[in-house]
Structure 1
Amino acid sequence: MSFYTSLSGLKNAQTDLNVISNNIANAETSGFKKSDTSFADIVASSALADSSHTVGIGSRVATITQNFSLGAINQTGGALDITINGDGFFTVKSPLSGETQYTRNGALTIDGSSYIVNAQGARLQAFPTDPVTGAITSTSTLQDVQIPAASPNPKDPANPGSYAGVTIGKNGQIIATYSDGSNATLGVVAVASFLAPTGLRQLGDSTWAASGNSGAATYAQPGSGTTASLLSGSLEGSNVDIAEELVSLITAQRNFQANAKAIDTATQISQAIMNLRS
């Protein structure tokens, strides 16, 4: 039994090493959230067994939990680099699969079709607004953000200005400016929140999808109520602390070595018993 008990410890230590290695590998990944491994013991006994003589039979991985604490905020100066200064997620939608995804990585660009997208080409989702007043016209629907080539709110309707630039304010308003001095509000960034964000399904590229464990997303305007505001011209880095991970790496390595030593000891005992019979 000692072989299998120590083997479970070896497997768990290997899982812990894998998780820590993944954290370290993504220490410079924007919007990445580290994971922590928790373990539980395994006990096998009948209802009539004497509890004072119960021996454990190993351990197992209880959970691998994502840690959504805020990462370091790095100033970039980019007009379309934005950070959520608190809890929540940006919402993006893949134009190919139509899948709605959530991310903390606010590195955005404009694609060839004038949509605001992330590095994977998924389109930023926003509340629709009145282009003149900037007021949100619906909180029940989200839409892609596409920048008009000519001003939708020109000072001279006969000669509308051409696109000059775009900014995103701390309240999430996406405002395009034009060569005639006019501007238009194209939408308001929708910040998604979940009852249990640790239940989100990881997709890679610092994106997640909703699951039964996370619950459905609820949306709000940045800076409204308890919803965090946005920081323009900055990106959230990984929340991995290298020093902390290296200490955890040493601990996991020692755990692996100790279980390996226990197997070696069990082997020596078995060999000694076999030699007694010869």
Structure 2
Amino acid sequence: MNTSMISASVTAGQLQRKLDTISQNIANTNTTGYKRRETTFSDLLFQQVNNQSNPNFEAGRLTPNGLRVGSGARIAQTALRLEQGSLIQTGRELDFAITEKDHFFRIGTIENGEQVERLSRDGAFYLSEDPDNPGLLTIVTSNGDFLLNGGFERINVPMNFESLQLTEQGILTATLNDGTVEELGQLALTRVLKPQLLESIGDNLYGIPNLAALGFAEGDVLEEVPGNEGRIMQGSLEGSNVDLSREMNELLSTQRHYQFNTRAISMADEMAGLINGIRR
């Protein structure tokens, strides 16, 4: 395989990964709290080829001597973009929209029988019976994962409640049938100072990697903050931050680049066929 085919085939493979990222963004245009991803490219290694061994033939040349033969391009980073999505008024008591771009809800998922902390921007919650506390309700996501409070514990709701209200201090309260008001717990958020370290694990959730293995202290990456009125809006949801028109433009541009590289492979193959067909 010659160098032109190597460069074109490598780049085409990386462009396919960008197409996958764009497709995922488009598919989640209407997903609550979804954050788009954006890919950037960088050059691979290249080698300097001296195509003119006689410097006498290079007199008066203005460009550098020799040729640079590259190996194509690769994806340098698939960056998570945390721009604020549009706020959608729902009027529903268990819908909460985060108004700060680098803040996340704490979500508890059950993995291998243990509760593991995850992060999410999806503020559409529901009520389900707490499996560890029969007779009490708990707040869960659409997938059944648990919303956690400031103490990393589930938020329990009495069965005989009439309404739920989030105070200015971020404390969730329940008004019971007899008119009494009961505090259910402090809604807490996690502020991510280095969002590019987050790992997408599916279902609109993000995981936290092993920070010690990466050389980071937890305080350098995560900060626990109260979910007060300035950060959480009750009765609203945050929409996806995907700009469909922008993604479609990126899709068309990437397809053209992919087509260009596949055409380069075809042309290199045709030239190789012509050379092989030459007879003495």
Q: Is the 8 A contact 1:171 1:230 kept in 2?
A: no
**Higher mean Cα deviation, 81-90 or 96-105?**
96-105
Quote the residue 1:5 is aligned against: 7
Q: Secondary structure at the match of 1:220?
A: strand
Are 1:101 and 2:99 matched, yes or no? no
* 253, 256, 265: which one aligns with 2:255: 253
Which is strand-richer, 1 or 2? 2
Q: Call closer, same or farther: CA 1:121–1:260 in 2, change over 3 Å.
A: same
Q: Call closer, same or farther: CA 1:175–1:248 in 2, change over 3 Å.
A: same
* 59, 70, 82: which one aligns with 1:68: 82
Q: Call closer, same or farther: CA 1:172–1:62 in 2, change over 3 Å.
A: same
Q: How many residue pairs align between the two structures?
A: 249
How far apart, in 1, do the equivalents of 2:196 and 2:163 lie?
A: 37
Are 1:220 and 2:225 matched, yes or no? yes
The residue identity in structure 1 corresponding to 2:90 is T
Question: Over aligned residue pairs, what C-alpha RMSD do you find?
Answer: 2.3
State the shift of 1:275 in Å.
2.4
Quote the residue 1:38 is aligned against: 40
The residue identity in structure 2 corresponding to 1:146 is N
How far apart, in 2, do the equivalents of 1:60 and 1:185 lie?
A: 53
State the shift of 1:169 in Å.
3.5
Q: Secondary structure at the match of 1:202?
A: strand
State the shift of 1:97 in Å.
3.3
* 96, 115, 125: which one aligns with 2:138: 115
Q: Is the 8 A contact 1:12 1:59 kept in 2?
A: yes
**TM-score between the two structures when normalised by the length of structure 2:** 0.82
State the shift of 1:168 in Å.
2.2
Quote the residue 1:147 is aligned against: 157
Return structure 1 stretches of 4+ with deviation > 4 angstroms: 213-216
Quote the residue 2:147 is aligned against: 124
State the shift of 1:242 in Å.
0.6
* Gaps in structure 1 of 5+ consecutive residues: 128-140, 150-161
1:69-218 matches, within 5 Å, as: 69-87=83-101, 88-95=103-110, 96-113=113-130, 114-127=137-150, 141-149=151-159, 162-211=160-209, 212=211, 216-218=221-223
1:105-130 deviations in whole A, cap 9, x for unaligned? 01111102301111121211113xxx
1:148-201 deviations in whole A, cap 9, x for unaligned? 34xxxxxxxxxxxx4222122354210011122210111111110122112101
How far apart, in 2, do the equivalents of 1:274 and 1:26 lie?
A: 49
Same amino acid, percent of matched pairs: 28
How far apart, in 2, do the equivalents of 1:252 and 1:194 lie?
A: 31
**Higher mean Cα deviation, 249-258 or 265-274?**
265-274
Q: Is the 8 A contact 1:170 1:232 kept in 2?
A: no
Q: Call closer, same or farther: CA 1:207–1:170 in 2, change over 3 Å.
A: farther
How far apart, in 2, do the equivalents of 1:57 and 1:92 lie?
A: 43
Q: Secondary structure at the match of 2:157?
A: coil
Quote the residue 2:28 is aligned against: 26
How far apart, in 1, do the equivalents of 2:168 and 2:260 lie?
A: 52
The residue identity in structure 1 corresponding to 2:179 is G
* Gaps in structure 2 of 5+ consecutive residues: 51-63, 131-136
Q: Is the 8 A contact 1:169 1:230 kept in 2?
A: no
Q: Call closer, same or farther: CA 1:187–1:195 in 2, change over 3 Å.
A: same
**TM-score between the two structures when normalised by the length of structure 1:** 0.83
Q: Secondary structure at the match of 2:78?
A: strand
The residue identity in structure 2 corresponding to 1:190 is A
Q: Is the 8 A contact 2:35 2:242 kept in 1?
A: yes
